[in-house]
Structure 1
Amino acid sequence: MTDPHTLTLELGPIAHGGHTVARHEGRVIFVRHGIPGEQVRVRLTDSDENAKFWRADVTEVLAPSEHRVQHFWNPADALAHLDPVGGAEFGHISLEHQRELKAQVFAEQLTRLGGLNPQEHSFPGVQFAPGAANGLGWRTRMSYSVDADGHLAMSAFRSNKLTAIEQMPLAHPAIEATGLYAVDYTGIERVEAAVSSKDDATVLILLAEARPGAAKRVARQFPQGVNVAAFSQSGGSAADGRGALQALSGRSWLSEEVLGEEFRITGEGFWQVHRAAATTLSERVLELTQPGDGEQIADLYAGAGLFSLPLARAVGSAGRVFSIEGAPGTHADAKKNLRSVSQATVIRGRVERVLRQVARDAALDAVVLDPPRAGIDKSVAAELAASGVSRICYVSCDPASFARDVSRLTSRGYELAHVEIHDLYPHTHHMESVGLFVRR
């Protein structure tokens, strides 16, 4: 008897989100863990008859792609597990082909959502990320769930089922060396791990308690030299202003160094995930923005001041950089990081409101923005256009939101003069892009 939840499919093109597109009896199916051109057997994971499309996972490869390789991490291997954990969904694809697929996704998004004509625009390939040639050991920030037995665990895509893990090959080696997988996390709801990209590779473990007092017991299981801190039970964090962060062992912040500048990052305060990303992106932002002596520049979604600090140095004492961030914890980090730079003004508030005020009081020469994955909204695009700023450097971690914002900015008088893609998330479908918009 045929299993109605199992199909044999020919996999079509890559789609944003880590899927390939297949069709069955006229219905679109988004398939994970495959490669375009393969013939595979899949298990349907979402097959509601009224749904616009279905979802599926590859369970067997009948005709493999020449680009298929052995997955480097067993818990994420769909051919070995019914519920492969997320976080390494491209691990079965050669690194070179991963980048080719990402470039295809980026071009498709800029064409379909950005409204750019491929005959008029040459879309870029993907630049290799600095670091290990095998694409492992790059993550300086990790987030884990805790299963019912107190073990670190992760879940599959769109699933709440937890799988206990004993390693994560994408994690920075210093995180793996703490012994965090052998710790009993009973009473802990969530565990975050962060490591400094500096040579000392200082590690900070963040614990979100499910039971009062559990964090102190857990902290004692870590070796000396590992910093451990806990969030209160309010469910929030120091980074978003909800819940206090208490140091249990060592300190509750990390020190980073980028282009010779020191940065302090507290708790879950935002920082680039790839160990080389902060330096790579800072260099590209400076190169594309070309900050001049005496210029006035707004840095939107500025975080801890990663771009604000080098921009402030570049504009000199006669210039001004407005570092604008909404999250209170991250804003506090920016104030510390920029306190000795007189030409930097650190402002907390909603980006569109602060930008409107800044643009009214200062003639902005350039804007740098690094928004969350959702990108900017219509109000921010409108304020950028109203400011009359001549150049905008846009750092994005999502090709779909970037493409949508390309459309918003080009419709308001800007032209995408340059764009480049960086593979700062090897073995995943994610990518980072940096674009330069100039006023027409």
Structure 2
Amino acid sequence: MVNEIGETLVTEIRQLDKKGSGQAVVWRENELGNPKKLKLTIPQTLPGEKVRVTVDQPDRRRRKAIAEEILEANPERMDPPCPHFDLCGGCVWQHWQYTGQLKQKTNHVKQAIESQGFDPNLVRDTIGMDDPWHYRNKMEFTFAKDGSLGLHEQGNFRKIIELETCLIAGKEMVEAAMEIANWVKSHQLKGYDKDAHEGLLRHLMVRQSFVTGEMMLALFATEAPTGHLESAINDLVVRVEEKFPQVKSLLWLENTQWADRTQSEKNHILAGRDFIYDEMVGYRYRLWFDTFFQTNPTQAQKLVEIALEMGQPKKTEKMIDLFCGVGTFSLPFASQVAKLAGIEIVETSIESAKRNAQDNGISNTYFLAKDARKGIDEVLESFGNPELLLLDPPRSGAGGKVMRRIGRSQPERIVYVSCNPDTFATDIKELEPFGYTLKAVQPVDLFPNTVHVECCALLVRNEG
């Protein structure tokens, strides 16, 4: 049916794309009567659902459409519990029962490795959470131009959805964020205008250890917390200290750069210290505002335990931890090997890793601030070939050059921790010519109600 808005169609969701939106195909006739394929992207739909949509410009090959009515629902569909779900870009699968999400994530990993010729039966079922809510220990909120605090609207980087709650963040973190939002309103402070490049407040970072309870509140602003801001800052400190004694780090971070990132040119400690303590698998870590640390500590601990189980570290062995960060995997492994070398390009992370090792009484580690490929060469020269190598690269993967360098170093066992099944699959393909066999892949859900899935895999060098 054609109307003023476009053409109304009924279609079935075949699969989901990498952003979690439904994908459908409609065959139509063109002006010559020949069949023409129209690919539709329909957010907030699930596989197998029959939906009615109205498509503007249906003569195009690809269009995005909104489901006007779910005619036949997936049996795993549920009412999303968050009042912001329809607009907020924080999580996209709140309308899907958790068991369905986990099956989808397992299938994603299977499809990724099968596309590279590996046996999908090597992939185990994804390990989920008992409670897939309030799991994040770090959130970055953004201030709108009027000073309201929230998250970006889905698909619209310029618009901020003012939040009443957030169901994936720790509960105390949300309470603290709402108090900051009230403080901003009471002092009529302005947010940053990305277009005009003016205004005061840009972001609020909240992070909290679920073990120690310590919390950090970090405000990113375009000015120093002095002069006309002094009265408001004093009020902020009083509010936080009275209502949130668990806040051990209250920071004001100056950022005048145009890039919309949580970065700082000058740091001001308003109360407490400039870091908080966290713990994982019995080891203590110092976390600064820019420290990368797993944002789901419950599942991250499981990931570390799986890596240890797969890697089987021995007291007689040497080990390399590539992309080691602040030592999340380094410290638990170091206590079970003869010596460990960690390589990471971010110098502040390496300094943190050294300090964390010292804080935990670990003395058999060597940490090097260098890019992965050059770092491997330097470590191998002084360290020798390791029996065990672990890598935990960014979403873009390690890349062919790094993987081939790993292959040439011939460790007996390789543990690959990945946050992107697709780059993981292409990376491990590079190891086959060097005599490595994929033994097992264990997906772990660190981000419930989103499309992301982590996995831990073991590759073993063939004998002879």
**Relative to 1, partners in 2 of residues 1:28 and 1:11: Cα closer, same or farther, differing over 3 Å?**
same
Question: Paired residue for 2:126?
Answer: 126
SS at match of 1:9: strand
**Relative to 1, partners in 2 of residues 1:410 and 1:48: Cα closer, same or farther, differing over 3 Å?**
farther
SS at match of 1:309: helix
Asked if 1 retains the 8 angstrom alpha-carbon contact of 2:342 and 2:366, the reply is yes
**Where does structure 2 lack aligned partners over 5 or more consecutive residues?**
28-36, 191-199
For residue 205 of structure 1, what is the amino acid of its counterpart?
L
2: CA distance, partners of 1:259 / 1:23: 47
Query: Displacement of 1:94 after TM fit?
Result: 0.5
Choose which of 227, 235, 240 in structure 2 pairs with 1:223.
Answer: 240
Matches within 5 A, 1:110-125: 110-112=113-115, 114-118=116-120, 121-125=121-125
For residue 328 of structure 2, what is the amino acid of its counterpart?
L
**1:37-90 per-position Cα deviation (integer Å, ceiling 9, x unaligned):** 111234669x7977x74334434322211111000112113xxxxxx2112200
Correspondence 1:189 to 2:206: no
Asked if 2 retains the 8 angstrom alpha-carbon contact of 1:396 and 1:402, the reply is yes
Correspondence 1:301 to 2:323: yes
Question: Paired residue for 2:381?
Answer: 360
Asked if 2 retains the 8 angstrom alpha-carbon contact of 1:278 and 1:306, the reply is no
2: CA distance, partners of 1:241 / 1:183: 22
**Relative to 1, partners in 2 of residues 1:220 and 1:65: Cα closer, same or farther, differing over 3 Å?**
same
Query: Displacement of 1:369 after TM fit?
Result: 1.0
**1:260-294 per-position Cα deviation (integer Å, ceiling 9, x unaligned):** 21111111201111131332122111111111012
Q: Which range moved further: 325-334 or 286-295?
A: 325-334
Question: Paired residue for 1:67?
Answer: 76
**1:273-331 per-position Cα deviation (integer Å, ceiling 9, x unaligned):** 1131332122111111111012110111111111111111111xxx1100111112222
Asked if 2 retains the 8 angstrom alpha-carbon contact of 1:166 and 1:181, the reply is no
**Relative to 1, partners in 2 of residues 1:49 and 1:306: Cα closer, same or farther, differing over 3 Å?**
farther
**1:217-250 per-position Cα deviation (integer Å, ceiling 9, x unaligned):** 468434213232132325499x999634332222
Correspondence 1:165 to 2:178: no
Decide which structure has the larger Cα Rg and report it.
2
**1:310-359 per-position Cα deviation (integer Å, ceiling 9, x unaligned):** 111111xxx11001111122222111001242210011111111111212
Question: Paired residue for 2:106?
Answer: 103
Question: Paired residue for 1:40?
Answer: 51
Query: Displacement of 1:252 after TM fit?
Result: 2.0
For residue 22 of structure 1, what is the amino acid of its counterpart?
A
Question: Paired residue for 1:81?
Answer: none
Correspondence 1:426 to 2:448: yes
For residue 25 of structure 2, what is the amino acid of its counterpart?
R
**Relative to 1, partners in 2 of residues 1:247 and 1:212: Cα closer, same or farther, differing over 3 Å?**
closer
Asked if 1 retains the 8 angstrom alpha-carbon contact of 2:318 and 2:386, the reply is yes
For residue 269 of structure 2, what is the amino acid of its counterpart?
A
Choose which of 148, 153, 158 in structure 2 pairs with 1:151.
Answer: 148
Question: Paired residue for 1:15?
Answer: 17
2: CA distance, partners of 1:293 / 1:5: 68
**Where does structure 1 lack aligned partners over 5 or more consecutive residues?**
78-83
Asked if 1 retains the 8 angstrom alpha-carbon contact of 2:122 and 2:439, the reply is no
**Relative to 1, partners in 2 of residues 1:277 and 1:313: Cα closer, same or farther, differing over 3 Å?**
same
Asked if 1 retains the 8 angstrom alpha-carbon contact of 2:220 and 2:264, the reply is no
Query: Displacement of 1:365 after TM fit?
Result: 0.7
**Relative to 1, partners in 2 of residues 1:91 and 1:191: Cα closer, same or farther, differing over 3 Å?**
same
**Relative to 1, partners in 2 of residues 1:306 and 1:38: Cα closer, same or farther, differing over 3 Å?**
same
SS at match of 1:61: strand
For residue 100 of structure 1, what is the amino acid of its counterpart?
K
Choose which of 201, 215, 220 in structure 2 pairs with 1:203.
Answer: 215
**1:378-419 per-position Cα deviation (integer Å, ceiling 9, x unaligned):** 221121012111211111111222122232233443221111
1: CA distance, partners of 2:258 / 2:368: 22
**Relative to 1, partners in 2 of residues 1:32 and 1:413: Cα closer, same or farther, differing over 3 Å?**
farther
1: CA distance, partners of 2:124 / 2:170: 29
For residue 31 of structure 1, what is the amino acid of its counterpart?
I
2: CA distance, partners of 1:260 / 1:294: 23
Asked if 2 retains the 8 angstrom alpha-carbon contact of 1:395 and 1:435, the reply is yes
SS at match of 1:105: helix
Correspondence 1:92 to 2:100: no
2: CA distance, partners of 1:325 / 1:413: 26
Asked if 2 retains the 8 angstrom alpha-carbon contact of 1:240 and 1:327, the reply is no
Choose which of 376, 381, 398 in structure 1 pairs with 2:398.
Answer: 376
**Relative to 1, partners in 2 of residues 1:289 and 1:244: Cα closer, same or farther, differing over 3 Å?**
farther
Question: Paired residue for 2:411?
Answer: 389
For residue 149 of structure 2, what is the amino acid of its counterpart?
L
For residue 104 of structure 2, what is the amino acid of its counterpart?
L
Q: Which range moved further: 52-61 or 255-264?
A: 52-61
Asked if 1 retains the 8 angstrom alpha-carbon contact of 2:222 and 2:256, the reply is no
Choose which of 334, 340, 350 in structure 1 pairs with 2:371.
Answer: 350
Choose which of 329, 332, 340 in structure 2 pairs with 1:321.
Answer: 340
Cα-Cα RMSD: 2.6
For residue 337 of structure 1, what is the amino acid of its counterpart?
N
Question: Paired residue for 2:30?
Answer: none
2: CA distance, partners of 1:272 / 1:5: 46
Q: Which runs of 4+ in 1 moved over 6 A?
A: 47-50, 239-242
**TM-score, structure 1 as length reference:** 0.88
Correspondence 1:264 to 2:273: no
**Relative to 1, partners in 2 of residues 1:152 and 1:350: Cα closer, same or farther, differing over 3 Å?**
same
2: CA distance, partners of 1:20 / 1:345: 47
Identity score, percent: 24
2: CA distance, partners of 1:228 / 1:5: 54
Query: Displacement of 1:24 after TM fit?
Result: 2.4
Aligned pairs, number: 421
For residue 10 of structure 1, what is the amino acid of its counterpart?
E
**TM-score, structure 2 as length reference:** 0.84
Asked if 2 retains the 8 angstrom alpha-carbon contact of 1:270 and 1:304, the reply is yes
